[in-house]
């Protein structure tokens, strides 16, 4: 709003209304989405470059709305956090992912994304324990992907939760590595099992010397800290060869497979096995 010449408030109502209304409408739809079973998990293979085979899958949340169509997670997960829906939604994701992964061959891991507020929920450790108990999934097959934002503030509770989960046998990966602030200090606060190199570096690594050197530095850091490094967003053979040359342990991206519904997992595994 803005003061006009006559000392009255002039609101730019139509525009403000429109964006507010569409946000409210999205909020209402999101609140109903769980009951209406509009969520699904898609799975994207993570490829082990040394063993030359799939090591597991990352679960990626999908919302299919009858009128909106497909709503990408970047558009509704932040909203779910804001309106307090992330706890039940995150719990659904964990239960579903564990339940499905329990049917896969034992050597395949399942990676689940956990948002900051979900992780900071005091009940989070119980949610994990329940998902593992209900599915009978062996805990070492479950990997949680967290971002640096979880570690922001470096609270002792966060570190304690991470250690508790690790003591239960879960693996912890640091997602989108290199995009947040003071990344290096976070590597000191907790012994992560894995570093996922953000796709922005992977995308540029074949073209830009700076990105190539950053990938090299991250893999060498991971190696010396005993952490697995995974290159995200590998789309071309050139990028794959670059990641191999830099010593990345794993790769993930459209070159191998897009995220697929659970029903297409077997055929995805087969097609990757046959080259």
Q: Which residues bind ligand C2E (CB under 6 A)?
A: 44, 60-61, 72-74, 77, 93, 113-115, 145, 175-176, 233-235, 253-254, 259
Pairing label, strands 228-231, 250-251: parallel
Q: Are 172 and 193 in contact (CB under 8 A)?
A: yes
In the complex, the smallest distance separating the C-beta of residue 58 from ligand C2E, rounded to whole angstroms, is 7
What's the CA angle centered on 131, arms 47 and 72, to 5 degrees? 55
Per-residue DSSP letter, 72: P
Q: Which two tokens stand for residue 113?
A: 């994304």
Pick 200 or 221: Cβ nearer ligand C2E: 200
Q: How many CA atoms lie within 13 A of 111 on its CB side?
A: 25
Judged by beta carbon distances under 5 to 8 A according to partner kind, the member of ligand C2E, Ca ion, none in contact with residue 73 is ligand C2E
Residue 46, Cβ density class (10 Å: 0-12 exposed, 13-18 middle, ≥19 buried)? buried
Span interacting with Ca ion, options 47-55, 152-160, 172-180, 262-270, rule CB under 5 A: 172-180
Name which of 11 and 254 has its Cβ closer to ligand C2E: 254
Q: With binding defined as CB under 5 A, does residue 145 bind Ca ion?
A: yes
Apex CA 97: angle with CA 274 and CA 50, to 5°?
40
- Report if residue 91 touches Ca ion, rule: CB under 5 A: no
- Taking residues 98 to 137 in sequence order and writing x for each that binds Ca ion by CB under 5 A, - otherwise, the string is ---------------x------------------------
Site for Ca ion in 198-257 (CB under 5 A): 232
DSSP class of 140: G
CB 143 within 8 A of CB 196: no
Does 175 interact with Ca ion (rule: CB under 5 A)?
yes
Q: Which is nearer to ligand C2E, 219 or 252 (CB)?
A: 252
Which stretches within 121-227 are classed as H helix? Answer: 124-135, 148-151, 156-167, 183-189, 199-204, 209-225
| Span of 125-133, 139-147, 161-169, 186-194 interacting with Ca ion by CB under 5 A | 139-147
Contact 96, 134 (CB under 8 A): no
Instruction: Find the shortest distance in angstroms from Cβ 105 to ligand C2E.
Output: 23
List contacts with Ca ion (CB under 5 A). Answer: 113, 145, 175-176, 232
């Amino acid at each position: 709003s803005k003061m006009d010449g006559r000392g009255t408030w002039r609101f730019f109502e139509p525009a403000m209304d429109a964006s507010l209304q569409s946000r409210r409408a999205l909020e209402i739809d999101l609140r109903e989405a769980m009951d209406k079973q509009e969520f699904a998990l898609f799975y994207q293979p993570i490829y082990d470059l040394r063993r030359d085979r799939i090591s597991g899958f990352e679960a990626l949340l999908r919302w299919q709305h009858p009128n909106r169509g497909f709503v990408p997670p970047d558009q509704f997960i932040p909203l779910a956090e804001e309106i307090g829906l992330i706890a039940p939604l995150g719990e659904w994701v964990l239960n579903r992912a564990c339940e499905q992964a329990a049917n896969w061959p034992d050597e395949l891991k399942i990676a689940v994304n956990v948002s900051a507020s979900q992780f900071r929920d005091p009940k989070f450790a119980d949610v994990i324990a329940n998902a593992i108990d209900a599915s009978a999934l062996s805990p070492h097959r479950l990997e949680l992907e967290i971002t640096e934002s979880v570690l922001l503030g470096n609270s002792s509770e966060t570190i304690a939760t991470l250690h508790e989960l690790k003591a239960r046998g879960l693996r912890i990966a640091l997602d989108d590595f290199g995009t947040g602030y003071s990344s290096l200090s976070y590597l000191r606060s907790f012994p992560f099992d894995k570093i996922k190199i953000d796709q922005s570096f992977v995308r540029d690594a074949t073209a830009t010397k700076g990105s190539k050197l950053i990938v090299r530095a991250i893999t060498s850091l991971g190696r010396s800290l005993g952490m697995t490094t995974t290159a995200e967003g590998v789309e071309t053979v050139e990028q794959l060869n670059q990641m191999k040359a830099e010593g990345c342990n794993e790769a993930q991206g459209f070159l191998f497979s897009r995220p697929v519904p659970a029903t297409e997992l077997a055929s995805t595994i087969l097609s990757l096995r046959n080259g």
